[in-house]
A and B are shown apart, each in its own frame.
Chain A
């Protein structure tokens, strides 16, 4: 081949290559069709009515203060500010509960990928206002339903990134309702105020940093002109805080951190030097109770971080695993009581603080994860009584004066300690009946193997400093306690932990769900099981009672999930669910 021919061949080759490239590029060109299809709300392709009656416009602070005076409604998370989870409705009673049957079911088996796919759970306490029910589900969903028929009125979805840091579950415990709005927290720590008529956002605020490991699961609480929330995330070494927003504008009015700065009261319970305080935990993931006479909110606070390795945070670590009484106007702290000083067991202190008045005293009752039942004077935080409420308890002793003596702590080698990290009682709430003057408590009898594994803190990564694996032999009970003596009055044992909130009613009934799907009604005075209905999935929610047109209903969200590995690993295979079930007499 001569030089000319070679040159010609190279040129031809290059041209062919270029032509091939252009051809490939052209073949990928997009075809242009007329725009005929527009995106639409998925909910517009359902039976949802699209709007709800404007009943929430009349709900204000004064009405919530007197919530118990309108037993047809369930106006706030616990039914009333006192946290008693008691409905005075008595149409359904010990005499007729055997006739209780399903009235309607709202199913929400949504599709798609979600954060914490294996941990979503239906945990809400529905709010009911004059025949309209407002509820939230996992992953940013909220609904309005006809409380008599179950018809969906509207829905709202807040999109949650799949990679949102969640320690324990993609869950939400319910909305708050006031001034014509429905207030909802989302797993990525947003607070959204929705128009109660159509479900459209009125305002929205971000109150946590997902990059720092913050999230939110709690139901907001409305006090005066404020809606108050707290974050989750002490398993990621956050700095726990409580935030208050103006109901109407969404402007943040105050934020208080649950870990004091150096020089502030309690600051001496953290190492002077280093970063421990800045990663101290102390989240606030359970709704506060409120005493309007004292004008104090009672917030539980979460575990210190890291959970199990206390060597990096010597001291009592205030105000973690505590109750703090705070002024709703400015978030200022009036007093505190620490249930578990220098918590090494992930016992938290978030469990509800129930307000009762007995023998002329204003008391606060608290069943802590650490297995002890505390009664405090809620005017000043002084201890009135403390006693264990579970059988399996060996982490430490708390004497009648409140002195805490730890007996077993996590080690590098691992050690079995009771209760496990889910506690003698999980967050799921106890109830108090002013009629029987008894507390009804869902309890867990479990232990766990605790092990310390020191780790370097990295923002956004789990910061446990070890692990606690719940042992397989666990069970539970519903127990009734007399607050005036601290003694157990009756017990109903179950071969699985009892991890759903209890509801007490004026019909002398106590309702509690089981992990295996049974919804139970007990005689409130004797503990006798009077009625049972298999709902098809486990209970980890807040049943409520209300009435419409004179008919009493019992409503319970059903959908097993959450941190099952921690509170009942023996039930990890229970069928998941997504139903809000409502029961009534024929």
Chain B
């Protein structure tokens, strides 16, 4: 299985500012001072090996959209945030407009940042494409119709050329889609959200965003440990610091890097991917949070048991599972 992240930001898309770009250029030029960098290879090597990641890269700013490539002909997507637009561009470049495709979508919930990319998803305008939107909320179609109604957007849902289906799933009842077994689980978030576990040929990926873990009783914690159990990858809402998540931002429906480490360690997960990044954080802060999370895992493990691999999602990240 393979994961491609098209949007990793929480709540609101953001863009790197002019000041941010200038800061990266200045940092790169400062680091290059005194070097010859005589040819393109030397420049590439310098960028890849010598510059800090937050200088040579960016986490990006699109809201939630993750592709899960399970090896089948049909596509699987988790959420339809603003990252979906770029996925659509990629699809047209890869297949052209004349070759119909089937897209299977799994929605964590219907908040705007998780569906806002759909009106800009070019394949939805092309006859022959088939879009199957799975959700655990009772009437997901209403949210899409509202989003594509005046005065919000000029093109109504009925004007789209693709065949669009809305499929309501039941949490805890697995279904088979595009060769994967998919199971949903209810999560704590305003209006409810749902995580999804994708399993195929002994591999498991869990997509669990917009989920607050209050850990008020052991059964609640255990239910997530069971859902995450032995997963090869858990994509986890780590939007807030723990202090914020249990004080100022309690009941805002998001979790922390620390709880992500603890749940994944209890569940025997192999790889934790931090996701749904706070929009006010810049690349340096998100990189710092990743390093701190890796350190917390070392402290929490105390040298016992297998290490948990930890990464932080960024727009454009591809990962083999």
Q: Do A and B originate from a single complex?
A: no
